[in-house]
Amino acid sequence: MFVNTVKKTLLTILLILAALPLLAQGRSGLQVGLHAGTNMRFGKDIAFRPGADVALDLRYVFLAPLGYTSRVGFQVGAGLGYMSSYQQSSITSQTDLTAYSTASDGTPMAVPMRYTVSADANYQDKQWELTVPLLLSFRFGAFALDLGPRFAVGISPSYSLALKNGNVDAYLVDYDVHIANDPSVGTIPTSGLSFGGNSSDTSFALYGVAALGYEWRLGQKGVSVSRYNSPHALEATERSVTIQLVAEYPLWQNQQATMPIVRLSATAFPAPQIELPALVKPLLIGVRVAYTIFPGSDKRYRCYCFR
Protein backbone atom coordinates (compact mmCIF):
# COMPACT_ATOMS: atom_id res chain seq x y z
CA MET A 1 0.00 0.00 0.00
CA PHE A 2 2.73 2.45 0.98
CA VAL A 3 4.84 1.52 -2.06
CA ASN A 4 1.90 2.16 -4.40
CA THR A 5 1.26 5.54 -2.79
CA VAL A 6 4.93 6.50 -3.22
CA LYS A 7 4.84 5.42 -6.88
CA LYS A 8 1.71 7.47 -7.57
CA THR A 9 3.23 10.50 -5.83
CA LEU A 10 6.46 10.25 -7.82
CA LEU A 11 4.52 9.83 -11.07
CA THR A 12 2.43 12.90 -10.29
CA ILE A 13 5.57 14.95 -9.57
CA LEU A 14 7.17 13.81 -12.82
CA LEU A 15 4.07 14.71 -14.81
CA ILE A 16 4.00 18.18 -13.21
CA LEU A 17 7.71 18.69 -13.97
CA ALA A 18 7.18 17.56 -17.54
CA ALA A 19 4.31 20.03 -17.94
CA LEU A 20 6.22 23.03 -16.54
CA PRO A 21 7.72 24.05 -19.91
CA LEU A 22 4.22 24.10 -21.44
CA LEU A 23 2.80 26.03 -18.48
CA ALA A 24 5.58 28.60 -18.75
CA GLN A 25 4.74 29.25 -22.41
CA GLY A 26 0.99 29.07 -21.99
CA ARG A 27 -1.49 31.89 -21.82
CA SER A 28 -4.71 32.37 -19.91
CA GLY A 29 -7.96 33.82 -21.17
CA LEU A 30 -11.68 34.13 -20.62
CA GLN A 31 -14.40 32.65 -22.78
CA VAL A 32 -18.15 33.26 -22.91
CA GLY A 33 -20.23 30.71 -24.79
CA LEU A 34 -23.81 30.11 -25.87
CA HIS A 35 -25.02 26.56 -26.46
CA ALA A 36 -28.27 25.65 -28.23
CA GLY A 37 -29.35 22.17 -29.18
CA THR A 38 -31.79 19.34 -28.77
CA ASN A 39 -32.31 16.60 -26.22
CA MET A 40 -33.31 13.24 -27.75
CA ARG A 41 -34.25 9.79 -26.53
CA PHE A 42 -33.90 6.78 -28.83
CA GLY A 43 -35.11 3.23 -28.35
CA LYS A 44 -37.41 0.47 -29.47
CA ASP A 45 -41.05 1.56 -29.76
CA ILE A 46 -40.11 5.15 -28.86
CA ALA A 47 -41.34 7.90 -31.18
CA PHE A 48 -38.82 10.60 -32.03
CA ARG A 49 -39.58 13.96 -30.43
CA PRO A 50 -36.71 16.33 -29.65
CA GLY A 51 -36.52 18.48 -26.54
CA ALA A 52 -34.62 21.69 -25.79
CA ASP A 53 -31.09 22.19 -24.47
CA VAL A 54 -29.87 25.80 -24.02
CA ALA A 55 -27.01 27.09 -21.86
CA LEU A 56 -24.88 30.18 -21.30
CA ASP A 57 -21.50 29.81 -19.58
CA LEU A 58 -18.27 31.58 -18.67
CA ARG A 59 -14.97 29.67 -18.78
CA TYR A 60 -11.33 30.12 -17.88
CA VAL A 61 -9.17 28.92 -20.78
CA PHE A 62 -5.50 27.94 -20.69
CA LEU A 63 -3.59 27.03 -23.86
CA ALA A 64 0.08 26.24 -24.38
CA PRO A 65 2.04 25.61 -27.62
CA LEU A 66 2.32 22.03 -28.81
CA GLY A 67 4.53 21.72 -31.84
CA TYR A 68 4.58 24.33 -34.59
CA THR A 69 0.87 24.97 -35.25
CA SER A 70 -0.98 23.26 -32.40
CA ARG A 71 -1.87 24.08 -28.81
CA VAL A 72 -3.13 22.08 -25.84
CA GLY A 73 -4.71 23.11 -22.56
CA PHE A 74 -7.94 23.00 -20.58
CA GLN A 75 -11.18 24.83 -19.89
CA VAL A 76 -13.08 25.13 -16.61
CA GLY A 77 -16.08 27.27 -15.88
CA ALA A 78 -19.70 27.54 -14.79
CA GLY A 79 -22.97 28.19 -16.53
CA LEU A 80 -26.75 28.18 -16.37
CA GLY A 81 -28.87 26.08 -18.70
CA TYR A 82 -32.40 24.92 -19.39
CA MET A 83 -33.33 21.50 -20.76
CA SER A 84 -36.46 19.53 -21.54
CA SER A 85 -36.92 16.05 -22.93
CA TYR A 86 -39.72 13.85 -24.19
CA GLN A 87 -40.46 10.16 -24.48
CA GLN A 88 -43.43 8.96 -26.48
CA SER A 89 -44.15 5.23 -26.51
CA SER A 90 -46.97 2.70 -26.70
CA ILE A 91 -47.20 0.69 -23.49
CA THR A 92 -48.86 -2.56 -22.48
CA SER A 93 -49.00 -3.45 -18.80
CA GLN A 94 -50.30 -6.66 -17.24
CA THR A 95 -51.22 -6.97 -13.56
CA ASP A 96 -52.57 -9.96 -11.58
CA LEU A 97 -54.95 -9.00 -8.77
CA THR A 98 -57.40 -10.80 -6.55
CA ALA A 99 -60.98 -9.65 -5.90
CA TYR A 100 -62.95 -10.99 -2.95
CA SER A 101 -66.61 -11.86 -3.14
CA THR A 102 -69.20 -13.90 -1.22
CA ALA A 103 -70.82 -17.09 -2.49
CA SER A 104 -74.58 -17.69 -2.32
CA ASP A 105 -74.13 -19.65 0.90
CA GLY A 106 -72.20 -16.78 2.47
CA THR A 107 -68.78 -18.34 2.05
CA PRO A 108 -66.06 -15.79 1.18
CA MET A 109 -64.33 -16.51 -2.11
CA ALA A 110 -61.33 -15.16 -4.00
CA VAL A 111 -61.68 -14.15 -7.64
CA PRO A 112 -58.34 -14.05 -9.52
CA MET A 113 -58.19 -11.27 -12.14
CA ARG A 114 -55.66 -10.42 -14.82
CA TYR A 115 -55.64 -6.84 -16.02
CA THR A 116 -54.18 -5.84 -19.37
CA VAL A 117 -53.88 -2.10 -19.94
CA SER A 118 -52.57 -0.54 -23.14
CA ALA A 119 -52.16 3.15 -23.97
CA ASP A 120 -49.99 5.75 -25.63
CA ALA A 121 -47.76 7.35 -22.99
CA ASN A 122 -46.42 10.86 -23.58
CA TYR A 123 -43.84 11.88 -20.98
CA GLN A 124 -42.03 15.22 -20.60
CA ASP A 125 -39.57 16.51 -18.03
CA LYS A 126 -37.83 19.88 -17.76
CA GLN A 127 -35.47 21.67 -15.41
CA TRP A 128 -32.93 24.46 -15.01
CA GLU A 129 -29.32 23.39 -14.57
CA LEU A 130 -26.14 24.73 -13.04
CA THR A 131 -23.26 23.31 -15.08
CA VAL A 132 -19.52 22.99 -14.43
CA PRO A 133 -17.45 21.82 -17.45
CA LEU A 134 -13.84 20.60 -17.11
CA LEU A 135 -12.49 19.93 -20.59
CA LEU A 136 -9.19 19.19 -22.29
CA SER A 137 -8.69 21.57 -25.21
CA PHE A 138 -6.79 20.88 -28.41
CA ARG A 139 -6.18 23.35 -31.22
CA PHE A 140 -4.83 21.93 -34.47
CA GLY A 141 -4.33 25.02 -36.58
CA ALA A 142 -7.83 26.46 -36.80
CA PHE A 143 -9.62 23.27 -35.73
CA ALA A 144 -10.87 23.15 -32.14
CA LEU A 145 -11.45 19.91 -30.20
CA ASP A 146 -12.65 19.80 -26.58
CA LEU A 147 -13.16 16.59 -24.58
CA GLY A 148 -14.06 15.87 -20.99
CA PRO A 149 -16.77 15.76 -18.33
CA ARG A 150 -19.52 18.23 -17.46
CA PHE A 151 -21.11 18.18 -14.01
CA ALA A 152 -24.74 19.34 -13.79
CA VAL A 153 -27.02 20.18 -10.86
CA GLY A 154 -30.74 20.19 -11.68
CA ILE A 155 -32.93 22.94 -10.24
CA SER A 156 -36.73 22.67 -9.86
CA PRO A 157 -37.25 19.59 -12.05
CA SER A 158 -40.83 18.89 -13.12
CA TYR A 159 -42.61 16.29 -15.21
CA SER A 160 -45.91 15.66 -16.97
CA LEU A 161 -47.45 12.42 -18.21
CA ALA A 162 -50.46 11.92 -20.49
CA LEU A 163 -52.09 8.57 -21.28
CA LYS A 164 -54.27 8.45 -24.40
CA ASN A 165 -55.94 5.88 -26.66
CA GLY A 166 -56.27 3.56 -23.69
CA ASN A 167 -57.81 0.11 -23.38
CA VAL A 168 -58.49 -1.70 -20.10
CA ASP A 169 -59.31 -5.41 -20.13
CA ALA A 170 -60.06 -7.36 -16.93
CA TYR A 171 -60.01 -11.14 -17.30
CA LEU A 172 -61.75 -13.18 -14.62
CA VAL A 173 -59.58 -16.28 -14.75
CA ASP A 174 -61.92 -18.79 -13.05
CA TYR A 175 -64.93 -17.73 -15.11
CA ASP A 176 -63.14 -17.12 -18.42
CA VAL A 177 -64.87 -13.75 -18.71
CA HIS A 178 -63.47 -10.47 -20.04
CA ILE A 179 -64.71 -7.08 -18.83
CA ALA A 180 -63.37 -4.30 -21.03
CA ASN A 181 -63.40 -0.52 -20.55
CA ASP A 182 -66.03 -0.54 -17.84
CA PRO A 183 -66.06 1.73 -14.77
CA SER A 184 -66.27 -1.35 -12.57
CA VAL A 185 -62.74 -2.35 -13.64
CA GLY A 186 -61.35 1.08 -14.49
CA THR A 187 -61.16 3.08 -17.71
CA ILE A 188 -58.98 5.57 -19.51
CA PRO A 189 -61.27 8.36 -20.81
CA THR A 190 -61.31 9.25 -24.48
CA SER A 191 -59.81 12.62 -23.55
CA GLY A 192 -56.96 10.79 -21.78
CA LEU A 193 -55.46 10.96 -18.30
CA SER A 194 -52.91 13.58 -17.26
CA PHE A 195 -50.49 13.63 -14.36
CA GLY A 196 -47.71 15.99 -13.38
CA GLY A 197 -45.78 17.63 -10.61
CA ASN A 198 -42.58 19.16 -9.33
CA SER A 199 -39.76 17.42 -7.50
CA SER A 200 -38.19 18.91 -4.40
CA ASP A 201 -35.13 16.67 -4.79
CA THR A 202 -31.94 18.05 -6.32
CA SER A 203 -30.63 15.99 -9.22
CA PHE A 204 -26.97 15.52 -10.10
CA ALA A 205 -25.56 14.24 -13.37
CA LEU A 206 -22.18 13.71 -15.01
CA TYR A 207 -22.03 14.05 -18.79
CA GLY A 208 -19.34 13.04 -21.24
CA VAL A 209 -18.71 15.90 -23.69
CA ALA A 210 -17.14 15.98 -27.16
CA ALA A 211 -16.99 19.23 -29.15
CA LEU A 212 -15.42 19.69 -32.58
CA GLY A 213 -15.39 22.87 -34.65
CA TYR A 214 -13.52 25.78 -36.18
CA GLU A 215 -11.80 28.77 -34.61
CA TRP A 216 -11.50 32.21 -36.23
CA ARG A 217 -8.85 34.55 -34.81
CA LEU A 218 -9.93 38.19 -34.87
CA GLY A 219 -8.09 41.49 -35.21
CA GLN A 220 -4.64 40.07 -35.99
CA LYS A 221 -3.69 41.37 -39.44
CA GLY A 222 -0.62 39.65 -40.82
CA VAL A 223 -0.92 36.68 -38.48
CA SER A 224 0.32 33.46 -39.99
CA VAL A 225 -1.40 30.39 -38.58
CA SER A 226 1.53 28.26 -39.69
CA ARG A 227 3.84 30.49 -37.61
CA TYR A 228 1.54 30.71 -34.59
CA ASN A 229 4.07 29.12 -32.24
CA SER A 230 7.08 30.92 -33.71
CA PRO A 231 9.58 32.39 -31.22
CA HIS A 232 9.37 35.73 -33.09
CA ALA A 233 6.54 37.61 -31.44
CA LEU A 234 4.99 40.96 -30.62
CA GLU A 235 2.79 41.64 -27.60
CA ALA A 236 -0.90 41.71 -28.50
CA THR A 237 -4.31 40.71 -27.25
CA GLU A 238 -5.68 37.65 -28.97
CA ARG A 239 -9.40 37.31 -29.70
CA SER A 240 -11.21 34.46 -31.36
CA VAL A 241 -14.67 33.11 -32.19
CA THR A 242 -15.24 29.36 -32.10
CA ILE A 243 -18.18 27.40 -33.51
CA GLN A 244 -18.41 23.74 -32.49
CA LEU A 245 -20.76 20.80 -32.88
CA VAL A 246 -21.28 19.37 -29.37
CA ALA A 247 -22.43 15.89 -28.32
CA GLU A 248 -23.18 14.99 -24.69
CA TYR A 249 -24.31 11.78 -23.01
CA PRO A 250 -25.09 11.17 -19.30
CA LEU A 251 -22.48 8.86 -17.77
CA TRP A 252 -23.97 8.95 -14.27
CA GLN A 253 -27.11 10.28 -12.57
CA ASN A 254 -27.99 10.19 -8.89
CA GLN A 255 -31.66 9.85 -9.80
CA GLN A 256 -32.58 7.74 -12.78
CA ALA A 257 -35.68 9.40 -14.18
CA THR A 258 -38.70 7.10 -14.13
CA MET A 259 -42.28 7.48 -15.20
CA PRO A 260 -44.72 7.59 -12.29
CA ILE A 261 -46.78 4.51 -11.41
CA VAL A 262 -50.41 5.03 -12.44
CA ARG A 263 -53.34 3.36 -10.69
CA LEU A 264 -56.76 3.61 -12.34
CA SER A 265 -60.02 4.09 -10.46
CA ALA A 266 -62.41 1.12 -10.35
CA THR A 267 -65.90 1.02 -8.81
CA ALA A 268 -66.41 -2.70 -8.15
CA PHE A 269 -63.03 -4.44 -8.50
CA PRO A 270 -59.44 -3.79 -7.38
CA ALA A 271 -57.90 -0.90 -9.29
CA PRO A 272 -55.33 -1.95 -11.91
CA GLN A 273 -51.82 -0.54 -11.72
CA ILE A 274 -50.04 0.48 -14.91
CA GLU A 275 -46.34 -0.34 -15.09
CA LEU A 276 -44.78 2.20 -17.41
CA PRO A 277 -41.49 1.64 -19.25
CA ALA A 278 -38.20 3.02 -17.94
CA LEU A 279 -36.99 6.26 -19.42
CA VAL A 280 -34.12 6.05 -21.88
CA LYS A 281 -31.05 8.21 -21.23
CA PRO A 282 -31.06 11.21 -23.58
CA LEU A 283 -28.44 12.14 -26.16
CA LEU A 284 -27.74 15.87 -26.36
CA ILE A 285 -26.70 17.33 -29.72
CA GLY A 286 -26.13 21.04 -30.25
CA VAL A 287 -24.01 23.93 -31.50
CA ARG A 288 -21.87 26.13 -29.25
CA VAL A 289 -20.63 29.59 -30.24
CA ALA A 290 -17.90 31.06 -28.03
CA TYR A 291 -15.90 34.28 -27.86
CA THR A 292 -12.44 34.01 -26.26
CA ILE A 293 -10.02 36.76 -25.28
CA PHE A 294 -6.39 36.37 -24.17
CA PRO A 295 -5.24 39.71 -22.66
CA GLY A 296 -1.90 41.00 -23.96
CA SER A 297 -0.69 42.88 -20.89
CA ASP A 298 1.79 40.16 -19.91
CA LYS A 299 4.94 39.84 -22.07
CA ARG A 300 4.40 36.10 -22.23
CA TYR A 301 1.19 36.66 -24.21
CA ARG A 302 2.18 36.75 -27.84
CA CYS A 303 0.79 37.51 -31.25
CA TYR A 304 2.89 35.61 -33.78
CA CYS A 305 3.27 37.60 -36.99
CA PHE A 306 5.13 37.71 -40.31
CA ARG A 307 8.64 39.14 -40.15
CB under 8 Å to 20, separation ≥6 — which residues?
Answer: none
- Quick one: pLDDT at residue 221? 45
Q: Where are the domains of the chain?
A: 2-303
Q: Which residues of 175-199 are buried (b: 16+ CB within 10 A; e: fewer)?
A: eeeebeeeeebbbbeeeebeeeeee
Predicted confidence at residue 225, as pLDDT, reads 42
| DSSP code for 268 | S
pLDDT in tens, the chain (307 residues): 545 655 665 565 555 545 545 555 778 899 999 999 998 887 666 776 788 999 999 999 998 888 778 888 899 999 999 998 888 888 888 888 888 877 777 778 888 889 898 888 888 888 899 999 999 999 999 999 999 999 999 887 888 888 888 889 989 888 899 988 888 888 888 888 887 777 666 788 999 999 999 999 886 544 444 444 544 444 578 899 999 999 999 998 876 555 666 778 777 777 777 777 677 788 899 999 999 998 875 444 344 443 3
